[in-house]
Structures are given as structure tokens and as C-alpha cells.
Structure 1
Amino acid sequence: MRFISPKTDFAFKKIFGSSESKEVLISFLDALIYGGKSRINNLEIIDPYNAGYTTELKDTYLDVKAILNDGSTVIIEMQVLNVPAFDKRVIYNLAKTYSTQLKYGEGYSKLKPVIALTITDFTMFEQTDRYLTRFVFKEDQDNFIYRNQHLSMVFVELPKFSRSLEDLETASEKWIYFMKEAPNLEAIPNTLSEIPEIAQALTIANQANMSSKDLEELHKREVFMEDRKGEIRQALEEGKQEGREQGREEGKQEGREQGREEGKQEGREQGREEGRLLMQGLISRQLEGKLGAIPSEILEGIQQLSLEQLEALGVAMADFTTSVDLSNWLRDKQ
């Protein structure tokens, strides 16, 4: 057997976001959000995914939304690329989902909790070695939780997970192992098949059960994501190289106090401008991938944005569907 990676959008939504995925998704959420306890009796997948074929690849992230039996909404997102302002986008999507629950005239008592479950294929939090973390509102000094826990974020960082198949114990460990290692398996291991929903997920991910057109679509998605990873790696390497050159240049000025101070200031300004240009190029490529060809006058508007405005654009672009949305956003920033 050979299994496709659940980290691609084609597989992720087919496994967790289709109309047949209810039991799989319940098991997945119980494991990662509720520590393996059976808290979810039922759920409704919002806009169920129907596996189709694309002529153009646009998005570098994907999500599945579900409403639980208690009325809570869960946003499940698989993020492969560490793109600019991603951390802000998670908060934005969480807050937006919470704030748009109410219909006109409804009171705040109608609001239900929203949970953002985010799985990343990169490290987000260097401060801890834990691969599963949870964030809620807490008081800064005494560390007590806010009166309600309506907004929470759960993160799974796949690179931090290193348990072997033989060492898996909990349901969360088994699901995370599935997310990370499915393409490396040659059969459905007994350890994972102890959870029927993981066995079902692996059956869906089995290449033998997919058509040649499915596999071709999958290959297109994988190439697309690898190309985007390469762009980010190149941008980071260029930034490091420019930083090294700038540091050497500043070192030459150490003999002159005034020159050194001016050099530091100039270096900071230059570094900020170089960082702005790198982010501008990356966001422009992402926008073209998401929206298609961008008119030259809009690209000129993006070139005029400050670093802070580019970060804001990196968050806002998640809601753009056409270049008109982008044009309106730029006009509001003028």
C-alpha cells in the first residue's frame, strides 16, 4: 500500500471535510481538542468538500469548518507554508467567525464558542518543545481564565512530534502520527487501526483507491506547495546574505564613532527597506496565485505600502476573491 499525504489540500479535505467524513472528524477533534475524551456526539460540516479538479492552483492554506452538537464552531486549518502574518490570520479568522454568528437584532447571549485548530508543517513557538499547545484569554498577573472561554486556539506543530510507531499511546499521538507519517507507511499498522476512524482515514488516503486523475491532481498540488516552499527559502536566504554583507560593511566603520552611528542607522533603514521589498515580492506572488494576473496599477499600489501595511495585507488577503477586493482594500489604505 501507498498512502497520500494528508497535508495536501486534496487529501486533507477529502479525509476530514467531505460529507462522509463525520465520524473521522469527530474522532480527530476529540483527540486533539479534548484529549481523547468522547465530548462530541455529533457535528455538521459546513460546506462539505466534494473532491474536484482544478485548472488553477491558488491557495497555500486550507480549512474545514464544523459546528458541534453544543453549538460551538471549530475551524480546522492545515498550514504547510510559514507565510508572512500567518499568526495574525489565525486570530483574524477566529474573531471573524465569532463576530459573524449573530443575525440582525440578536443579543450577545446567542454567541457560541469558536475554536481554531491549526496544524502546521513548521515550528511556530520556539519557546516550548511541546507539539500540542492551547491558548485562551487569561489575566496577566494572576493567570486566571476569563469568565468564558468562547475563544481558544489549539496548535499542533508537526516538526516537533518525534514519537515512533511503537511508542504511540494516546489517541492524539496516533492522529498526529497519521498526519505526519502516512506517506511513509506501507500498510495500516495495528497500532493505528485500534482507532477505527484512523483506519478509515488511511483507506481514503490509499492510492490504490484513487483514480489516475486523482493522483494527477495530487501531484499538481504537491508540486505547487514545493514551489512555494522554495520561494520562501530563497527569500530567507537572500535576507541572511544581505544581513551578512551589511554587518561586514558596518564593521569597517568601527574606527569612526560618527560614521559607525550613521552606518548603524543607515543599516537599520536599509535592512527595513530590504525586508519590506522581500515581503512585497512574496505577497505579490501569493496574490497572483490566489487571484490570477494582477493589473499593473494595483501592483504599483502594493509597491507603495509600508512594512506594517504589507503585514496587514498578508492577513486581509485571506478574504479576497477577486482583484476588485484587493483594489478596494488598497484604496481604503490611501
Structure 2
Amino acid sequence: MKPEYLDLKVDFMFKQLFGQPSRKHITIAFLNDLLGRKGHNRIKDLQFINTEISKETKDGKTVRLDLAVLTENSENINVEILVINQHDLPERILYYWAKTYSSSIHSSDQYRKLRPTISISILNFSLFPTKTDDFHTIFHIREKSSHFLWSEQLEFHVFDLTSFVVKWRKYRRQLNDNKELPWLLMLTAVDYPENKLDDELMSELEEWAMNIEQVKEALIEWETISANKENRVIYEARAKELRDLLSNLEGERRLGREIGRAEKDYEYALKFMQEGLDLAFIEKMTGLPKEELLKLKKK
């Protein structure tokens, strides 16, 4: 019987595979490859830290991450995986980074004790669709003209899984020297709304697993946690929450577009009236009922 895999983009499953001390070696390999760490820069050890890094505040903002670790080199690494594009995401990512960074020292500590903090955002949508089609973008604060760093303490990584799949299908053989590729295949191989496995992506992932031990172990662990009955119950509940949230957001956006169109119709109707055009013509052009046009005319 063919194994069934649950979508790792659902945060519960992501935490099950990458957020458990018993699978720390998989998490280390995952982070090293996503961050492009090589040689002496590689992460050799880490400890998992509380993913809720600040208690509920008066403004109602609690920082909860999908994965938070502290490396042996005293680096904070935060990972968040999102399947739905909500409002003000760049500001939210910056806020989460700032909370993590500031919480790395106590009020009496010197600023030099602040830990380098790296934010990894794995998104099932494009955050900057008009600016880049790269699936991995890296951000620092640099001087505008000379481009030198303000500080090495800050680093943002954004992975766009939708752009990754497009690039992989088009240039797959050209990406084969990319160490992050098997992990991105793992994150995109299943689609949570239908829980449908992409055989083409999975076949490529299995090829990688034959040559990389940590990828092979991750694939085995993924199958194991997907088969767990208790995990499946929690997963289905969380997937339903995400589907409902997506439906609500789409409804809000649709309503916003409809309101925007209506406002535009009224704007055009007013201009037509100022030009002295016939009401019947305006009604035909804007779709606004005659009663509404008469009210508008009286204003």
C-alpha cells in the first residue's frame, strides 16, 4: 500500500517533523541547507526554545513561532511557515524579529550581549510578486550608496514555495546543486486543501533521499508521523481552520473589490452628470439604478 503523507505546510505537521528534540539532527541539516551554511559556519548543535517569546500584551500581540532555536554559536533562528497571505506581513516579520532580538538580553545586560537573530519565512505565496520571481530572497540593512552592513545581527530569509515549484518544473536539472532543494520539495509535495501528493515532486525527493542520509531520515519520519492516528486528527482540525480562514479572507477581499467597484461607479456617474449627460445613458454605463442617480444628482 502506498504511504500517505500529510502536508508539512500545515504548521502542526511542520512542528512535528522539525520542532522535536528527538529529531534535532534533521532540524540541523534542514537549517544548514536553507541558510547555505558550509564548513566552519555550519550549525553543529542547537537547542529548542519556547516558540511563544512574549506573553499577551495590552495590544493583544503575542509572538508565536513555528520553530525557534538557539545555536551553539548563540544565534537565534526563528522559522515561520504560512500558507495564507494575511495583512502587513513584512511588518509582522519585522515585529517578530524585533521581539526575539530584544528578548535575548535582560534589562541590566549590555547591548553587546544581544544575539544575532535570523528570521526564516516559508510562504506558500509570493510576498513581493512585482519585485522578484526568485524563490529564496535574503535581506540585510545596508548603506544606500556603499552597501556596507549596518550590523551582522540581522538577517531575513524568505522562501516562496509557489515560485520554487514554477522554477523547479522549468529548470529542475539546473537546480540540482542547490542543497535547499530536497527540503523545498518536501514542503511542496503535498497540497493541504485536498491532501494530494504530487508524484513528480515526490519522485525527485526520493532520488535525493538515496544520496543524503538526513533527507532519507526526514522522509521516513515524515511517513511515520503522517500515519499516526492522533496526529491525523489534530492535522485535520488544523487544516480545516486554515481552509476556513482562507475562505473568510477571500470573502473579505471579494467584498472589498465590490465596494471599490461601486465607489468607482458613483465617481463616474458624478462626472457624467457634471458633463450634462442623460440619466438613461449614465444608468446604462455605470449599472447604478435610476433612484440612486437621482439621489446623487440632488447632492
- Please give the TM-score of this superposition, normalised by the length of structure 1: 0.68
Rg larger in structure: 2
Measured after TM superposition, the shift of residue 219 of structure 1 is 1.2
2:229 corresponds in structure 1 to 212
Residues 47 and 62 of structure 1: CA distance in aligned 2, closer, same or farther (over 3 Å): closer
CA contact (8 A) 1:43 1:69 kept: yes
How far apart in 1 are the matches of 2:7 and 2:188? 8
| Runs (5+) with no aligned partner, structure 2 | 53-61, 191-196, 277-299
1:31 corresponds in structure 2 to 33
Query: For this pair of structures, how many residues does the alignment match?
Result: 249
CA contact (8 A) 1:94 1:116 kept: yes
Matched, 1:201 2:204: no
2:116 corresponds in structure 1 to 113
Report the residue type matching 1:28 in the other structure.
Answer: F
1:11 corresponds in structure 2 to 13
Measured after TM superposition, the shift of residue 25 of structure 1 is 1.1
Equivalent residues in 2 for 1:97-108, closer than 5 Å: 97-108=100-111
CA contact (8 A) 1:133 1:156 kept: yes
1:92 maps to which of 82, 95, 103: 95
Report the residue type matching 1:249 in the other structure.
Answer: Y
Matched, 1:70 2:70: no
How far apart in 1 are the matches of 2:237 and 2:34? 30
Measured after TM superposition, the shift of residue 47 of structure 1 is 3.8
Matched, 1:132 2:140: no
Measured after TM superposition, the shift of residue 142 of structure 1 is 2.7
Residues 166 and 135 of structure 1: CA distance in aligned 2, closer, same or farther (over 3 Å): closer
1:171 maps to which of 179, 204, 213: 179
* Segment of structure 1 superposing worse, 6-15 or 101-110: 101-110
Report the residue type matching 2:30 in the other structure.
Answer: F
2:4 corresponds in structure 1 to 2
2:198 corresponds in structure 1 to 184
State the SS of the aligned residue for 2:66: strand
Residues 106 and 175 of structure 1: CA distance in aligned 2, closer, same or farther (over 3 Å): same
Matched, 1:82 2:90: no
For residues 169-218 of structure 1, give each alpha carbon's deviation from its aligned partner in whole angstroms, at most 9, with x where no partner exists: 12112211111114434676122442222222222221686332221221
State the SS of the aligned residue for 1:232: helix
Matched, 1:141 2:149: no
What's the RMSD between the two structures over aligned residues? 2.7
Residues 258 and 114 of structure 1: CA distance in aligned 2, closer, same or farther (over 3 Å): farther
Percent same amino acid at aligned positions? 23
- Ranked by relative contact order (alpha carbons within 8 Å, sequence separation 6 or more), the top structure is 1
| Runs (5+) with no aligned partner, structure 1 | 50-58, 260-334
